[in-house]
Amino acid sequence: MAVASTSPLSAKPATAPSPPAPGSGLLALGVRRAPATAAWRRLRVEAIRTQRTEVPVEESAPARDAAAAAPLDGNGAGADGSVVPSSDDSWVVKLEQSFNIFATDSVIMVLKGVYGDRYYARFFALETIARVPYFAFISVLHLYATFGWWRRADYIKVHFAQSWNEFHHLLIMEELGGDSLWFDCFLARFMAFFYYFMTVAMYMLSPRMAYHFSECVERHAYSTYDEFLKLHEEELKRLPAPEAALNYYMNEDLYLFDEFQASRTPGSRRPKIDNLYDVFVNIREDEAEHCKTMKTCQTHGNLRSPHSTPNCLEDDTECVIPENDCEGVVVYKV
Ligand SMILES: [Fe+2]
Ligand SMILES: [Fe+2]
């Protein structure tokens, strides 16, 4: 069994020789590729880096929804970044939100107590749990589509892209050693198992409530990474980026990366990854985008795939999935 190191930023022992981290012996990233493949991968990443430097992405691409595209601010959040119930909704909404906030605060307390400053193990648990709701939403939507109750391709596409993004966060945490201890894996997966069924039930009863719950989780993830970046900026800047991060963020095909950011125009965000600090900055930004998408989803029928265009919806009937607006047991209106 692997032994946890005393350093908060320590990673699992590398299974193959890895390049020493410049200026620090704290982190040794596992190299899981053949040397030739790794070299080829580095060349490709360098080429993409150069391309992104020469052709800056549309920094000011028009946002699809100005409110949603704003940086993650205090909208609905307390001074410490926690979510507070909105004041202009009905008592049912307030009740749902209060339950969600209580539940997320309780889980956060448990995670902080169990993991303390073992950051990568805590992030591993967080990312294992973070993927679950998107999988749960897709499961329920598939069920509704099968019964012909409700059919919207955009929701399934965006939620899959969200789970794909969280999956890569998880791969990064694994590469950093977050899954080194059996107990950490067990606890994270144990919580994820029950979280899945809870989310399915909640989503069937009230998608608005389930989406708000995920918004709380994503907001917590954002503030966790933000705090981590502020505490360890200098150290992280001296450490190399994991392969999983390079594969995901520096890939030529970023269709799914664009797809989960429902408030952004495709191509408007192209990360540049030079070190571990850049990786965590982008993970934090991803969490902010998840948060905005979850907020958008709390209004029934509000979600659109970033790749769906007005022309496509209006002119090309091939693009349109017939929509049956029956909501099944979905409760949106109170
Ligand atoms: Fe994540
Ligand atoms: Fe997340």
Of the two residues 110 and 232, the one the predictor is more confident about is 232
Summarize the confidence of residues 165-186 as an average pLDDT.
95
In a domain, 189, yes or no: yes
In this predicted structure, which of 23-37, 116-130, 304-318 has the lowest mean pLDDT? 23-37
Question: Could you tell me the distance, in angstroms and rounded to a whole number, from the CA of residue 166 to the centre of ligand 1?
Answer: 5
- Domain assignment present for residue 48? The answer is no
The residue-averaged pLDDT of 313-331 equals 41
In a domain, 194, yes or no: yes
Give the bridge partners for 83, in sequence order: 77
> Nearest-5° angle of CA 13, CA 18, CA 23?
90
The answer to whether position 234 is within a domain reads: yes
CA of 216 to the centre of ligand 2 (A): 10
| CB 61 within 8 Å of CB 270 | no
| Residue 154: per-residue pLDDT | 87
Please answer whether residues 229 and 9 qualify as being in contact, where contact means their C-beta atoms are separated by less than 8 angstroms. Answer: no
Nearest of 268, 261, 285 to residue 60 by alpha carbon: 268
Range of the domain at 289: 90-319
Split at pLDDT 50, 70, 90, the class of 308 is confident
Q: How far is CA 238 from CA 25, 134, 141, 283, in A?
A: 10, 34, 44, 18
Q: What is the CATH number of the domain that holds 256?
A: 1.20.1260.140
- Residue 81 confidence (pLDDT): 47
pLDDT tens per residue, range 215-238? 999 999 999 999 999 999 999 999
Q: What is the count of structural domains for the chain?
A: 1
Q: Residue 220: nearest ligand to its CA?
A: 2
Residues within 5 Å of ion ligand 2 by Cβ?
A: 130, 218, 221, 287, 290
> Which ligand is closest to the CA of 171, given by its number?
1
Distance 143 CA to ligand 1 centre (A): 26
Pick from 5, 4, 33, 3: nearest CA to 19: 33
192 in any annotated domain = yes
What was the pLDDT predicted at 72?
59
pLDDT digits (tens, 9 = 90+) for 6-61: 445 655 544 443 433 333 334 434 434 445 566 666 666 666 666 666 544 444 34
Q: How many CA atoms does the CB half-sphere of 65 hold within 13 Å? A: 16
pLDDT tens, position by position, 222-278: 999 999 999 999 999 999 999 999 999 998 889 999 999 988 889 889 999 999 999
Q: How far is the CA of 278 from the centre of ligand 1 (A)?
A: 15
Asked, for residue 66, whether it belongs to a domain, the answer is: no
Q: Is the residue at 38 inside a domain?
A: no
